[in-house]
Amino acid sequence: AAMIYTESGFTPEAISPVGARGLMQIMPGTGAGIARDLGVADYNANMLFDPAINIRFGAFYIKGLLNDYGNDLDLALMGYNGGRGAANMWRDYRSVLPRETQGFVRKVKSVRDSYVKIYGADWPKNKPKKSAFEEDVKFFLYRVIFQR
């Protein structure tokens, strides 16, 4: 939710100046790669305006970044916003990140902290088993919003 708030202000039809689409502001080319990885047939960029698809794709993408960066939230958020190249440069050389990426990481974490104050940090423990899509969404919400 913190990423969605930061990326699109919960606006499913949001389009960024560079063409990122939907709630989690996924670039059409990134969406094509995610669709291929998830086995989604007949992908087209307009699918990214569907909230369920956009959240599924965004959760899958951030989960992959978290896995790739050893669950380092800052690096995963840098990769999500500025690309893996920017995250890798910062990790390897502590290079300067673009201001947009710096602001994105700060804002997502700040919004996440606000949600923790409101809802608590223990959610969603002891929930029943969900579908693969729901598991991706739960993972996204738990790791990005409620984990410190």
Grouping H, G, I as helix, E, B as strand and the rest as coil, residue 21 is strand
Amino acid at 101: T
Return the exposure string of 85-112: e unless at least 16 CB atoms fall within 10 Å of the residue's CB, then b.
ebbbbbbeeeeebeeebeebbebbbebb
4: closest CA among 41, 68, 59, 84?
59
Structural contact between residues 24 and 58, judged by C-beta atoms closer than 8 angstroms: yes
Report residue 49 as tokens: 């305006």
Write the CA distances from 21 to 16, 80, 125, 126, integer angstroms: 7, 14, 31, 33
7, 13, 134, 135: the catalytic one is: 7
In the residue annotation, 134 being an active-site residue is answered as: no
H-type alpha helices, 27-124: 28-38, 51-68, 73-82, 84-93, 99-119
Question: Which residues form the catalytic set?
Answer: 7
